[in-house]
Amino acid sequence: MLRTMHDDDIKEVVKKDTIIKLFSSMQVCALGGKHIQKKNDMHRISQNARTLARLVIKASEHLPMVSLNKLLCKDNFDLVVNSTLSLSHNSVTVANKMGHLLGHCIMIKNGYSVRRNSNEMAEETRLFKVLFDAEWKYRVNAPMTRQKTVRDMNKLTCIPETDDLVKFRDYIKQIIENEVRVLRACPNPGSWTRLAKATMCRLYIFNKRRIAEVEDMLLEAYQNRPEWTGTEEFRASLSDTEREFAKRQVLSSL
């Protein structure tokens, strides 16, 4: 994870902070073997570590040389809250993510204290968790969520015109057809790359409500897909419209 992380001050904090490293290692363990990992799993772990490191850096403006271990105590709870609000920049996503990560880090520090037989550290963690459970959602999550709700109410949502999507789809289909012809006549890396990107765009358009799922789909998942439509139970669970779609489209799970 550290090998692929950008070299900056944030990475230096990640390398030195015990709790962040322990949390990251537990996340890596949870991924299992490489053959079942998704494309961006390691990147997500890296971003989680960097998010926590940003919190440490922000808190160090008021408490120099602080670590996440030191922040997870009752005396620094207010500092953690204020640092999170400052980092969030009115973004509920950042605030919620920080709360989620801190919840895991509390458990990591608790386990760390047990392994070190440190009653003092365990008590620090317990008291911080009491404050975290009692106040975090009211002081961080709730106000950020309310701000987002107000912004969304006053924000004009721009939805692409159907005609534009149709034109774009036709353009992508033309690229796919052209590159397939080129590859059959004269295979080359450039055409293969363009075909792969165009195919991905085509899947994005088709599955636009859940775009993030597409990039995690493996060729193996498509090739080894089960025959969903071959079972009576499956057909019975579909609506009339879904049955028509099932005749023309292939269902694959991610």
Using one digit for the tens of pLDDT, what is the confidence trace for 38-88?
878 899 999 999 999 999 999 999 999 999 999 999 999 999 999 999 998
pLDDT of residue 139: 95
For the segment 159-201, what is each residue's pLDDT rounded down to a tens digit? 677 788 888 889 999 999 999 999 999 999 999 999 999 988 8
Structural tokens at position 186: 């004269």
Name the more confident of 154 and 46: 46
For the chain, the structural domain boundaries read: 9-153, 162-248
Comparing CA positions, the residue from 63, 61, 65, 59 lying closest to residue 16 is 65
pLDDT of residue 208: 65
The angle formed by the CA atoms of residues 69, 74 and 75, to the nearest 5 degrees, is 90
At residue 227, does pLDDT exceed 60?
yes
The angle formed by the CA atoms of residues 6, 7 and 10, to the nearest 5 degrees, is 85
The length of the chain is: 254
**Residue 114 CA: distances (Å) to CA of 77, 174, 250:** 22, 62, 51
For the segment 10-42, what is each residue's pLDDT rounded down to a tens digit? 999 999 999 999 999 999 999 988 888 887 889
Is 109 exposed, middle or buried, given 0-12, 13-18 or 19+ CB atoms closer than 10 A?
buried
pLDDT of residue 54: 96
Q: Is 231 helix (H, G, I), strand (E, B) or coil?
A: coil
Average pLDDT over residues 222-236: 69
Contacts of residue 231, Cβ cutoff 8 Å, sequence gap at least 6: none
Contact 11, 2 (CB under 8 A): yes
For the segment 89-114, what is each residue's pLDDT rounded down to a tens digit? 878 889 999 999 999 999 999 999 99
Distance CA 254, CA 175 (A): 26
Which residue has tokens 């509920």?
92
Structural tokens at position 211: 């775009």
